[in-house]
Amino acid sequence: MRMWIIFAALMLPFCAVKGWQEYADRKWGRQSGYDATKTSSWAILRAVRPLIGFPADQVEARLTAAFPQLKLDSAPVSATGNSDSCYRRVLRDTKTGDTFHFYYRDGTYRYATARQSNPLLGTEPNHYAPVEYARQCIQLTSVACWGIVFLALLLVARLTKIRDAAVIQRLLVHLLSMAMLAVSITWALDPDPWGRYRRTDIHADQWIVLGLIAATLITVVFTYRRKKPLPLGFCPTCGYNLTGNISGICPECGTPVPEELRETLTGDAGSA
């Protein structure tokens, strides 16, 4: 039980750090030195999202009017290398150096990606405009997963008095936490709505936590050994010493005492 409490306590700083990162992302956009609500990559991608289906000149005119720091890159048109008739135009943020790639098909805007020039301003290279909240979803899912694991481990540490049930509880907790983390990683790997790219911006901490949980699960499975039955005079469920107890019920876990054990206890009490 001590191991579970220590492991649960180690999860708390992870939850706190991820929660703070999410708060900082929403409040400051992880940008410094200028108004993040007007010039951050997220603001530009959110502004261009309603323009899906608009002609290229209208999209760029609206963006440059709302964000004067956006300038057309030196290579405005380039092929995407795909079989469809899609091309891109690149705009650069002169304040941050970030580049925005706007993709068009049949002369109308389809989607956009942002590439940050400073690695300290973001943890992943691409942000997709139609799903600009994907990163927040992944972050919140990670926090929720770790919170669930933290609470579940505390619950397991509290309920590990029953020997056989404790193993089942541990397995269920690990399977649940692995399933939740798998959901968040699946969200990160889902293709974009057009099926053209896959988002591979999975955070390393997700892999670390998933690996720790998987290793613990494997350890629990391979190190579990069926305990030998306790001698007469002990509860077969929780191992409580029933010497002198003639009530027929274990006072620790409430399990009815088997008939043969009850006769032994009654005989011991009568002989005493």
Reported as a single tens digit per residue, the pLDDT across 186-216 is: 555 544 443 434 444 455 555 666 676 667 6
What confidence score (pLDDT) does residue 70 get?
A: 80
Domain-wise residue ranges, the chain: 2-25+134-223, 51-121, 231-272
242: phi then psi, degrees, rounded to nearest 5: -100, 15
CB distance 95 to 101 below 8 Å: no
What class, spelled out in words, does domain 51-121 have in CATH? alpha beta
What is the residue type of 51?
L
pLDDT recorded at residue 153 = 60
Tokens encoding 74:
């030196």
The pLDDT value given to residue 15: 62
Identify the pLDDT of residue 10. Answer: 61
Residue 120, pLDDT score? 39
Query: Distance between CA 178 and CA 193 in Å, rounded?
Result: 26
pLDDT, position 102 = 78
Chunked mean pLDDT (size 10), the chain, 272 residues = 58 62 51 41 71 80 82 57 61 75 76 59 37 44 58 58 55 62 55 42 59 68 59 72 75 75 56 43
Please give the model's pTM, rounded to 2 decimal places.
0.32
